[in-house]
A and B are shown apart, each in its own frame.
Chain A
Amino acid sequence: MSITELSGFAFEPDPMTQAKSDPGAFTRLYLRHYDAIFRYCAHRLFERTTAEDITSEVFLKMVENFQTFDGNEKQFRNWLYRIATNAVNEHMRKTARRSAILTWVQWGSSKAGVDEGAAADESQDKQAVIKKALLTLKPEEQAIVTMRFFENLKIEEIAEVVGTSAGTVRSQLSRAMEKLRKHISSAQIDGQEVTL
């Protein structure tokens, strides 16, 4: 409870304004958004340590520019997604890292096959195929697919994050999904074609 909440007095800054000068409000704001941004990074990168590194990068960048941010908390969330998207995309463009992720996805698939039962094998294999297919997309396309299907953002919200129109996002999403289907259909598990 802040002192301004004591008796319903008139002076009541909004949470975003308060967070700019009040470390407590700032901390609460951070805590409200940490999980979502970490998960988004994990969904894009498939690897915890890197996701944590990028999450740190996102929030530290946010602090650097927070005083000039002017918007409500929903816009703040979208802004965080935008910073995260740029940070992950930059990371993904580093070919070496990307190939390392691909290797990890393939390794994860083969390991799952050893430890789990047959049904789990199939599921794990399909997941690995999808993850691999996601990594063949352009980073911008992967970002849109991730935000739509794993973060459950609306098309309009994604449009705000990536700074384009809802119509453009729809077309990009459609193209990305078509690419995914093609990749998955051409993939093979144990010499068998993958069926959706």
Chain B
Amino acid sequence: MNPNERKLEELMSKMTFDDKPDYRHRDKLEQELLAAFARRQWQQERQSRQNGVWRTIMQNKPMRLVAAAAVIAITGLVCVQFLTGTNAYAQVVQEIRNARTVVYTLITQTNQGNGETVKTDMAYKEPGHLRTTTIDGYTCIVDSTSGKMISIVPQGGYALGEINITKQTSAGGYLASIEAMKNLPAKADDKLGEKEIDGVDCDGYRVTQGDLTTTVWIDTKTGELVQVEQKYTSAPGMNRIIKNIKFDVELDDLLFSLTPPAGYQPFGVELKGDSAIQTEETFVNWLRWWANGNTDETFPPMVAGAEIAKVCMDMAKQGKLKASAWDKVDPSRMFNALLFVAKLPASSNWRYAGSGVKVNTPDTPIFWYRPAGSQMYRVIYADLTVREVAEDQLPK
């Protein structure tokens, strides 16, 4: 290489460009691609290959355990809809009032040791369609106008479900979170200082509503909503962060279709919300099943939301799940047990204190709530007995 050639290459190596990616474009394109991806995927005829995969899963005993864990994931995904920001978004942004669609990312962190965070992409479209997708590809679509849902597992399985709660009948249900967003309070309790989030200077506002404390961060320059943080008194350490919030994004109807993707196989169970078994008894049995199903014989770190699925996955990875228990899992019972908690209204003042508590530890309350119309609380203890207790006798 002669000096002129070297000089030219040197000059070229120092060239500067306006080439810093703009992540607003990247994120917008991501939404378009996901819509296109869903369209393409659902057009594909991949029956034979997916059949093969599903057979592999169901014929292999360890894989049955994995499939059971997948059901937990599905249940958790459904439940997160009930709990996500019940009344929590109420203080967020006025513009959502008229929004036809909302998309956001929900990041939850468990209080389980160094538990990893769970990231879920959410999309809502009027008049009541909701789609959630975890980073692992677990998708849950709920149509509140019919009360039906579908959960799709990336390995090629799906489960149809009925939640028996429609937009019209839900009082404290999952769509209340969307409704709450549309009924924003005029004023926050506190104005916080400034904080930089992802390179954006934000003003913070805090609102406390019952069990929930919500902090809203708004871009100081544009006034746009940047981030929402939620903390629950009843679940210390379990935090939720909502970000990447966008309103009125074009969302293809196919994203909310309840038709199983071509080639996907049913789980063989229908997750049916059944009010008759969404009872304390079902919940106690679920707690028993959980405690007996892990090698530590402890209760779960929390009793709501997709975090359960995450914890479950962590435990499976650590070899803490007993295959004997997981082989006998009853997905429908599990589903309804979790719905029992998910549907308890804020006025029940429910609390969970069972994280890390070993089953049969004497005189240790792990869960309590006040049934509708009652002055007394129902308290579940670690030996799984239940007693009625006056409010002033509740654990502090």
Whether A6 and B66, one on each chain, are in contact in the complex, defined by CB atoms closer than 8 angstroms, is yes
Of the residues B7, B36, B38, contact of A196 by C-beta under 8 Å: B7
Whether B16 and A127, one on each chain, are in contact in the complex, defined by CB atoms closer than 8 angstroms, is yes
- Number of A-B residue pairs, CB cutoff 8 Å, is 155
Of the residues B8, B38, B50, B73, contact of A23 by C-beta under 8 Å: B38
* B15 close to chain A: CB less than 8 A: yes
* B285 close to chain A: CB less than 8 A: no
Whether A63 and B66, one on each chain, are in contact in the complex, defined by CB atoms closer than 8 angstroms, is no
Per DSSP, are chain B's interface residues mostly helix, strand or loop, or mixed? helix
Of the residues A5, A43, A55, contact of B17 by C-beta under 8 Å: A43
Whether B37 and A3, one on each chain, are in contact in the complex, defined by CB atoms closer than 8 angstroms, is no
Whether A63 and B316, one on each chain, are in contact in the complex, defined by CB atoms closer than 8 angstroms, is no
Of the candidate stretches A33-41, A85-93, A135-143, A154-162, the one touching chain B is A33-41
Given contacts A2-B136, A7-B319, A52-B25, whether A38 and B11 have CB atoms under 8 Å apart is no
Of the residues A11, A123, A196, contact of B8 by C-beta under 8 Å: A196
Whether B11 and A126, one on each chain, are in contact in the complex, defined by CB atoms closer than 8 angstroms, is yes
For A46, list chain B residues within 8 Å (CB). Answer: 17-18
* A21 close to chain B: CB less than 8 A: yes
For B30, list chain A residues within 8 Å (CB). Answer: 27, 30-31
Given contacts A6-B313, A7-B317, A67-B40, whether A23 and B139 have CB atoms under 8 Å apart is yes
Whether B156 and A21, one on each chain, are in contact in the complex, defined by CB atoms closer than 8 angstroms, is yes
Complex alpha-carbon distance, A184 and B5, angstroms? 12
* B9 close to chain A: CB less than 8 A: yes
* B70 close to chain A: CB less than 8 A: yes
* B57 close to chain A: CB less than 8 A: yes
Whether A2 and B17, one on each chain, are in contact in the complex, defined by CB atoms closer than 8 angstroms, is no
Q: Nearest chain B CB to A125's CB is how many angstroms away?
A: 12
Whether B7 and A24, one on each chain, are in contact in the complex, defined by CB atoms closer than 8 angstroms, is no
For A189, list chain B residues within 8 Å (CB). Answer: none
Contact string against B for A residues 57-77, beta-carbon threshold 8 Å, 1 for contact and 0 otherwise? 001100110110000000000
* B349 close to chain A: CB less than 8 A: no
* A99 close to chain B: CB less than 8 A: no
Contact string against B for A residues 14-51, beta-carbon threshold 8 Å, 1 for contact and 0 otherwise? 00001001111111101100110011001100111001
Given contacts A23-B34, A24-B136, whether A18 and B154 have CB atoms under 8 Å apart is yes
Whether A4 and B137, one on each chain, are in contact in the complex, defined by CB atoms closer than 8 angstroms, is no
Given contacts A7-B316, A177-B5, whether A23 and B16 have CB atoms under 8 Å apart is no
Whether B137 and A39, one on each chain, are in contact in the complex, defined by CB atoms closer than 8 angstroms, is no
Contact string against A for B residues 24-42, beta-carbon threshold 8 Å, 1 for contact and 0 otherwise? 0110011011101110110
Whether A23 and B133, one on each chain, are in contact in the complex, defined by CB atoms closer than 8 angstroms, is yes
Given contacts A22-B154, A196-B11, whether A34 and B40 have CB atoms under 8 Å apart is no
Whether A2 and B8, one on each chain, are in contact in the complex, defined by CB atoms closer than 8 angstroms, is no
* A180 close to chain B: CB less than 8 A: yes
Chain B: residues with Cβ within 8 Å of the partner, total of 57
For B138, list chain A residues within 8 Å (CB). Answer: 3, 24
* B233 close to chain A: CB less than 8 A: no
Q: Nearest chain B CB to A16's CB is how many angstroms away?
A: 14
Q: Nearest chain A CB to B116's CB is how many angstroms away?
A: 7
For B7, list chain A residues within 8 Å (CB). Answer: 196
Per DSSP, are chain A's interface residues mostly helix, strand or loop, or mixed? helix
Q: Nearest chain A CB to B15's CB is how many angstroms away?
A: 6
* A56 close to chain B: CB less than 8 A: yes
* B295 close to chain A: CB less than 8 A: no
Q: Nearest chain A CB to B49's CB is how many angstroms away?
A: 9
Whether A3 and B313, one on each chain, are in contact in the complex, defined by CB atoms closer than 8 angstroms, is yes
For B53, list chain A residues within 8 Å (CB). Answer: 11
Whether A11 and B29, one on each chain, are in contact in the complex, defined by CB atoms closer than 8 angstroms, is no
Q: Nearest chain B CB to A10's CB is how many angstroms away?
A: 8
For B4, list chain A residues within 8 Å (CB). Answer: 181, 196
* A1 close to chain B: CB less than 8 A: yes
* A130 close to chain B: CB less than 8 A: yes
Q: Nearest chain B CB to A113's CB is how many angstroms away?
A: 15
Complex alpha-carbon distance, A34 and B8, angstroms? 29
Nearest 9 interchain pairs by C-beta: A24-B137, A22-B137, A22-B154, A42-B19, A196-B7, A6-B316, A63-B36, A2-B136, A39-B19
Residue ranges of A at the interface with B (Cβ–Cβ < 8 Å)? 1-7, 9-11, 18, 21-28, 30-31, 34-35, 38-39, 42-43, 46-48, 51-52, 55-56, 59-60, 63-64, 66-67, 123, 126-127, 130-131, 149-150, 177, 180-181, 184, 196
Residue ranges of B at the interface with A (Cβ–Cβ < 8 Å)? 4-5, 7-9, 11-19, 21-22, 25-26, 29-30, 32-34, 36-38, 40-41, 44, 46, 50, 53, 56-57, 60, 62-63, 66, 69-70, 73, 116, 133-139, 153-156, 313, 316-317, 319
Give me 19 other A-B pairs in contact (C-beta within 8 A), A11-B57, A24-B138 excluded. A1-B313, A2-B137, A3-B66, A24-B137, A25-B137, A34-B29, A38-B21, A39-B19, A42-B17, A43-B17, A43-B19, A52-B22, A55-B25, A59-B33, A60-B33, A63-B36, A127-B11, A149-B12, A181-B8
15 contacts between A and B (CB under 8 A): A2-B136, A7-B317, A10-B60, A11-B63, A21-B50, A23-B41, A24-B134, A24-B136, A24-B154, A39-B21, A52-B25, A59-B33, A60-B32, A127-B16, A150-B15
